[in-house]
């Protein structure tokens, strides 16, 4: 009888061990099996094994996307973002039906990772990415970027939330993971900055229409050909009506269009707080949305 010790790395969610016979002979007997297991530690800076933290995304009104990390070499099962190569990745649907209309979204938890042999001597300061929401091809919201993944270690990660809750008046039909270089380093002069988005958790809350039958009217239109122009105070011409409960107001401004937000031009409108507008030297369009 011979005794052996075998050490190996198994993928996540493995739940049984298969024993197969090799070599010559009709049969072989095995007994005295003893299996000890230790969980992969993502804080181990001297991988392998390679691994990233598991997603934190409660059941309910949350949408989760995630991918696996190869424990032997740190490669990603779906996508690795690299400047001059793969700069973005569209998270595949089907998205929650709430995204078809007005919805509040919160990117509550993401995990950003990088790991491979030799990374312990590498410095890349912009292994970063963000989430971009689009509707009908137009960007309706972009989150802040992730923080750079720690350098000079075989594997490292960053975990956190991206911004606060944001209102998407027409929802979203594309959710894109976008590398930092898309908007900041088109020539890739800062290096490859390869990074793996491991998981994205997006909380959502549908916005229930209050059935407002009339949004009312504010006024009045003003114009001037002076070099600078100090507009007059807004006035209430007609109050909103219809619906029930407490009305909520959202002020929007644009310098490029007076066409109400319709999904294709949402990126031309910007939310702002009631304020005293400063003298201006360009056209300014104001709208108020009533809920």
| pLDDT tops 80 at residue 165 | yes
Average pLDDT over residues 134-157: 94
Q: Which of 186, 206, 226 is the last residue of a domain?
A: 206
Residue 45 belongs to a domain: no
Same domain, 172 and 83: yes
284 in the same domain as 153: no
Same domain, 200 and 257: no
Strand order in the sheet with 62-66: 62-66, 196-206, 103-115, 155-168
Average pLDDT over residues 6-27: 69
Residues 184 and 71 in one domain: yes
**Residue 51, in any domain of the structure:** no
Going by C-alpha positions, the residue among 47, 49, 53 that lies closest to residue 112 is 53
Same domain, 124 and 260: no
217 with 201, same domain: the answer is no
Residue-wise pLDDT tens digits, 48-76: 889 999 999 998 999 999 999 998 899 99
Question: Is 251 a member of any domain?
Answer: yes
User: Does residue 198 share a domain with residue 67?
Assistant: yes
For residue 79, the model assigns a pLDDT of 96
Residue 276: pLDDT over 60: no
SS3 280: strand
Instruction: Quote the pLDDT of residue 16.
Output: 75
pTM > 0.75: yes or no: no
How much of the chain exceeds pLDDT 90, in percent?
45
Residue 12 lies inside a defined structural domain of this protein:
no
Domain tally, the chain: 2
In 123-229 the beta strands, taken as DSSP E runs, fall at: 129-135, 138-142, 155-168, 174-179, 196-206, 212-214, 217-219
- Whether 137 is in a domain gets the answer yes
Residue 83's domain is classified under what CATH number? Answer: 2.60.120
Phi and psi at residue 181, to the nearest 5°: -70, -25
Question: Does 238 or 218 have the greater pLDDT score?
Answer: 238
* Residue 77 and residue 195 in one domain: yes
My answer on whether 110 and 191 are in the same domain is: yes
Q: 83 with 191, same domain?
A: yes
Higher pLDDT, 48 or 211: 48
Please give the residue range of the domain that contains residue 224: 212-290
Residue 34 has pLDDT above 90, yes or no: no
Give the pLDDT score at 269: 85
Arithmetic mean of pLDDT, 127-147: 96
My answer on whether 201 and 67 are in the same domain is yes
Q: Which two tokens stand for residue 60?
A: 């309910």
């Amino acid at each position: 009888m011979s005794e052996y010790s075998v050490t190996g790395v198994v993928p996540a969610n493995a739940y049984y061990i298969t024993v197969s016979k090799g070599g010559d002979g009709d049969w072989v007997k095995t007994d005295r099996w003893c299996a000890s297991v230790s969980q992969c530690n993502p804080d181990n800076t001297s991988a392998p094994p390679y691994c990233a933290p598991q997603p934190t995304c409660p059941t309910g009104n949350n949408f989760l996307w995630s991918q696996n990390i190869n424990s032997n070499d740190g490669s990603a099962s779906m996508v690795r973002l690299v400047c001059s190569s793969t700069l973005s990745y569209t998270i595949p649907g089907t998205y929650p039906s709430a995204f078809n209309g007005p919805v509040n979204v919160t990117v509550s938890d993401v995990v950003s990772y990088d790991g491979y042999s030799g990374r312990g001597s590498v410095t890349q300061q912009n292994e970063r990415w963000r989430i971009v929401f689009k509707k009908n091809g137009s960007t309706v919201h972009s989150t802040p970027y992730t923080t750079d993944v720690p350098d000079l270690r075989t594997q490292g990660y960053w975990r956190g939330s991206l911004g606060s809750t944001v209102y998407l008046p027409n929802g979203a039909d594309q959710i894109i993971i976008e590398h930092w270089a898309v908007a900041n380093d088109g020539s890739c002069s800062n290096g490859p900055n390869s990074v793996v988005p491991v998981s994205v958790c997006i909380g959502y809350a549908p916005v229930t229409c209050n059935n407002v039958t009339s949004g009312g009217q504010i006024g009045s239109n003003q114009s001037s050909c002076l070099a600078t122009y100090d507009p007059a105070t807004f006035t209430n011409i007609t109050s909103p009506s219809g619906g029930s409960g407490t009305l909520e107001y959202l002020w929007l401004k644009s310098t490029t269009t007076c066409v109400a937000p319709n999904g294709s031009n949402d990126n031309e409108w910007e939310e702002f707080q009631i304020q005293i507008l400063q003298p201006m030297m360009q056209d300014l369009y104001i709208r108020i949305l009533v809920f």
